[in-house]
Structure 1
């Protein structure tokens, strides 16, 4: 590790978590999930189900494994979420015609309706999150996070 990043390492003398970027990433994520969960309570939907429903809106008929990858969740956890949503009437599943081992998932009309409600609430949380920032600042932050992700995924 070069000295230029030393001040960001917890092992350094006089380390302060206020200077550790990943501390802030986890803090922001945790607060975001908390705010989202609070907003979604009135619909009886938690953050895990929200993530899956909103992904399905943009990726209709995705396989469970594709959904698992998209929401960064274990396959078994994603399967549980899918079947919970199915029991609630928000999604349906079917076996892929080409490969019966693949289960595809799509939103029902109730799922589409719930997703719209979720998106309306998410707009409020997003506005709150980015208050005091310009759209350009948010775009730059997103680009920086993508860059860090690519570095870590090597």
Structure 2
């Protein structure tokens, strides 16, 4: 890496909050989570359950650790969420036949229905957030965020 600031973000004296990408990422995430929480509350769900439902959407089975990875939640926390969802009748979990150390999770019919309702909420918010953004811009944003995420990976 070359010495000295590469751009304005590297120069503490030139820092302007509104020009800091993390400022806008955080503001967007906060607004998004606020809207999704309100929408999910109306259908009796919360964000942790929504993350599980969306992780399993279109998939037959995932392990608890795979769901935790998708949801960006620590494994012990995800285990508790799955247990609560199992008590609610939204998922079933069982030990993997291939690897007894792995717990597999599947949606129940009630879980699939809750997932459809949750998807409708999330999709309305998505359409509003991206109403004046083209598909090429969305693809470019996804690519950029994926690359930045990889840059920060351990």
Same-fold call, TM > 0.5?
yes
Which residue of the partner structure matches residue 42 of structure 1? Answer: 42
Q: CA deviation at 1:110?
A: 0.2
State the distance in 1 between where 2:6 and 2:130 align. 27
Displaced runs of 4+ in structure 1, greater than 4 A? 1-4
Give the conservation status (yes or no) of the 8 Å contact 1:39–1:121.
yes
State the distance in 1 between where 2:124 and 2:15 align. 36
State the distance in 2 between where 1:101 and 1:144 align. 36
TM-score (norm 2): 0.91
Show CA shifts across 1:59-111 (max 9, x none). Answer: 32211111111111100111011011111110001111122221110000000
Which residue of the partner structure matches residue 75 of structure 1? Answer: 75
Which residue of the partner structure matches residue 123 of structure 1? Answer: 123
The unaligned stretches of length 5 or more in structure 1 are none
Give the conservation status (yes or no) of the 8 Å contact 1:8–1:21.
no
- RMSD, aligned α-carbons: 1.6
Q: CA deviation at 1:150?
A: 1.6
Which residue of the partner structure matches residue 28 of structure 1? Answer: 28
The 5 Å alignment of 1:54-65 reads 54-65=54-65
Q: CA deviation at 1:4?
A: 5.9
